[in-house]
Structure 1
Amino acid sequence: MNYQERFEEIYTAHITREGSKELLDWLRKTDFFTAPASTKYHCACEGGLVQHSVNVYEVLREKHFEEGDSEESFAICGLLHDLCKAQFYKVSTRNVKNEATGQWEKQPFYMVEDSFPYGHGEKSVFLIERFLRLKTSEAMAIRWHMGGFDETAKAGGFSISVAFEKYPIAVKLHLADLEATYLREKNTSAVNRK
């Protein structure tokens, strides 16, 4: 089973609220299932975004699901937290010197082409809510999933601390995103193989 099939299997099994079918139909019309998750770090490869989304969901579900948690909320947060990256990357080329031959060769690379610069987590929340209503806890988790890497948090904003204190799923999503990115997705970049 490939990552798109796994994503759709989880999505259709757990996300059933009004608008969920329309959101999935919209995702299929975007580059969500073929886009990278980053320009050169984790999952910087074709299909990297859906791979990352499935990985985050799986870490979130395996490590942080507790009695009383919502399967639907976990699926929404894990699978859709990086929806902001659909229609966000563009493939371009640059000249790179081939060390073996000494010749310059065109190499493809991913670059950001943000046609809707609305932020990161907040953009994902906005895009999801065009189709389905999020619970407050889901919106907070998706908005703040970047944790201290979020630009507002880096600038000294305190809202993230309040969100983490009030909404445990926000902390759980951030931790799942970190583990997926830095542990499960190590060496998944087609650009930087380390």
Structure 2
Amino acid sequence: MSNKEIFIETYNKNIHRPGAEKLLAWLEGTDFFTAPASTRFHAAYEGGLLDHSLNVYNVLISKHFNPETDDLESYTIVSLLHDLCKAGFYKTELRNRKNDRGEWEKVPVYAVDDQFPYGHGEKSVFLIERFMRLRTEEAIAVRWHMGGFDESVKGGSFALAHAFEKYPLAVKLHLSDLEATYLHESRGE
């Protein structure tokens, strides 16, 4: 089974909220399943965003999900869709790079082409909510999944601290995103 098939099966099995089918149909019309997760850091290859989303889901479920107290639908939504903002976010362009023989050659690389500069986590929340409503805890988790790496918290943020204090799912998603990024995914060099 391909990663796309695993994603769709997991999504359909665990997410039953009104609008979920329309959101998945929208995803299929974007580059979500083929886009990289970054330009040169983690999973910077075709399909990297899909791989990253599944990695975050797997870490979140295996390490932080308690079936007796936690909602599988919520955990699935935040993990699979936390980086929805990266759909339609990258383009390929050619750059000069020296090859093994020391000669310059043009090579394709990923570059950011943000047509809707709305932020990172907040953009994902906005895009999800175009199709289905998020619970407060889910919206907070997706909004703050970058933790201290978010541009809006340079120098510290009481909003981030309060979100983590009040919504454990936000902390769990952030930890899962970090682990997937730094321990399970390669740099795309």
Deviation digits for residues 122-146 of structure 1, max 9, x if unmatched? Answer: 0000000000000000000000000
CA RMSD between the two structures? 0.9
Deviation digits for residues 48-90 of structure 1, max 9, x if unmatched? Answer: 0010000000100000002210000000000000000000000
Q: Secondary structure at the match of 1:141?
A: helix
CA distance in 2, matches of 1:161, 1:190: 32
TM-score after normalising by structure 1: 0.94
Give the match for residue 50 of structure 1.
50
Q: Secondary structure at the match of 2:59?
A: helix
Q: Secondary structure at the match of 2:34?
A: coil
CA distance in 2, matches of 1:174, 1:132: 22
- Structure 1 moving runs of 4+ over 3 Å: none
Deviation digits for residues 27-47 of structure 1, max 9, x if unmatched? Answer: 000000000000001100000
Mark the runs of 5 or more structure 2 residues left unpaired by the alignment: none
Give the match for residue 95 of structure 1.
96
Give the match for residue 73 of structure 2.
72
Q: Does 1:183 align with 2:183?
A: yes
Deviation at 1:99, TM superposition (A): 3.2
Q: Secondary structure at the match of 1:126?
A: helix
Q: Secondary structure at the match of 1:181?
A: helix
CA distance in 1, matches of 2:122, 2:167: 16
Deviation at 1:154, TM superposition (A): 1.9
Mark the runs of 5 or more structure 1 residues left unpaired by the alignment: none
Alignment check: 8 A CA contact 2:148 2:156 kept: no
Identity rate of aligned residues, in percent?
64
Q: Does 1:21 align with 2:38?
A: no
- AA in 1 matched with 2:89: F
- AA in 2 matched with 1:94: R
Give the match for residue 147 of structure 2.
147
- AA in 2 matched with 1:51: D
CA distance in 1, matches of 2:62, 2:154: 29
Deviation at 1:98, TM superposition (A): 1.9
